[in-house]
Chain A
Amino acid sequence: MSEFLQSLVRGLGTGSVYALLALGFVIIHKSTRVISFAQPAFMLAGAVLVAHLAPDVGFFLAVPVAAVVIAALALGVERTVLRPMIGRPAFVVAIITIGVDVVVRVVTNAFIGLDVLPVGDPWGLATVSLLGVEVQQRYLVMLATTVVVVVGLFAFFRFSRTGLAMRAVAHDQEVALAQGIRVGSVFALSWALAGGLAALAGVFVATGAGVDQQLWVVALKALPAVILGGLDSLGGAVVGGLAVGVVESLVGTYQGDVAPWLGPNFALVAPYALMLVVLLVRPHGLFGAREVERL
């Protein structure tokens, strides 16, 4: 039982990181109808920035600074690269973001080198006993931070004027434009938000293990999460992220005994298998809006 609870907490912890990343994907998709494959690069860049800042200014100052810097970087990318592409097919823009991802990642990798960079987080691999179950502190911190961020984001979308504008653009760009909402600013803001969330997620992925050149692969796990939840549902992104984390963790714990024929490391691809199964049943994910076809 305690093995189950441990892997559940671990799953929720990593799942909350996927949720942060997935929120970024969904925020960009809702406002611009595009999937940004540049999220992995922003995540990596955030983690690297914290790793370089933390020894000087301390971990807790480095994280918000990194989030803001990466948000500014994402905003800059949107203005220079994505803005000329407005009105072009969504998949062409998505491919452009792959190009951006490659460029940002290669440049970032130059700052990592071949070693593993520690991010200077205060938790490391320390554990704490919670109701008789040993869990790593960093998973609890991840979960708590995600809850705070998610509540903040939902409040922002629900109560602020800017949030209202973003919801209007997500609902119908042309009508929003006609109501005097600056759609361009909303695009830029959603990229900045997604960049900041990715940087935050990157820091949490790197806690415990540190940053290496393969860290970005983790960000791709957020893709099954967004598909699972539905591309245009913020709540779905959170649920999908947590679900992916938990499934990955539980498969990692039990698959060796239950289904060894799937091979070791099946846990790493389990989210994708889960995604395929869900899509067979619900092509728009669990919470995604059904497309209405009109002629």
Chain B
Amino acid sequence: MVHETIAATNAVVTLDVALPGIVWGWIITMNMWAKSIGTGIIFLGFFLLKKYPEQTGFIRFPIAAISIVFIHIFLFFTVIDLHQMFRFWHIFFYPHLTSAITIGAWMATGFVGLLFGMAYAIYMKKDEALYDKLLGWTVLLAVPVTLYTAGLMAQSTARELWQMPTESAQMILAALLAGTSAMILLGGNKFSDTIKKDLAIILGLAAAAAFILYMAELIFGPMKAEEVAAVLHYIKGGEYTVMFWIGQAMAFIVPMILVCLSLKNQSYYLLKIAAVSALVGLWVSKHVWLVIPQLLPMS
């Protein structure tokens, strides 16, 4: 038995009860992933409509529709993850305002309302001015809707790896990465070369920044706390190593390379592959980062 103990203490837990394993599993990963697309496409849509109003008018309805679909995927997975999902309304009628969950639910509700307003303005009323006005407010709300999960994770005091401000930066970068990828796939070949170049640059920069943050946490995180070091063991030669690197490669490394190649060769096809890779990889990266802090023994 001694070979199994921690060398410094020679201590081994010989009797204890089962600890809860992974409490927030793939459903929460889906939640975060879908939300990144739902808010990211709004950020990108706003940027393109402001910078290239003449050429991008056709994206008005699609971005509202895509955002509605993905925000509802996010809401659906949020609600089904509750153990008492039919009490969801308690958040609105017995709110506790210190909780990021409450604030997030309220913000998301306002966001959904604005999205439907945008869809109505452009599809039913064909009123671009009203749409653009609503889009401005939607972008403003998209920021806290994107960030509230980082707030929730920061309030999860037990999990040292989920800390502000790193998580908030990661959430915004994930939204930019996912939003740009969705926009690249949505635009088909209808975008001009200049717009494609802009999208490629945003995708490449978001991927690079997110990758740098993950690597910084991986290398320097253990200096912060013993708990962080113990969590990172799961991806430093532990059971989540392969999954972690698959996620990093698909979400960030492959897109960075493909963006460079596509800019060099002016190939929109490569950019589309980069977008698909980023979307798949983002799911995997988020999942690993969500799960590993939950494996730590708490007591």
Q: Do A and B bind each other?
A: no
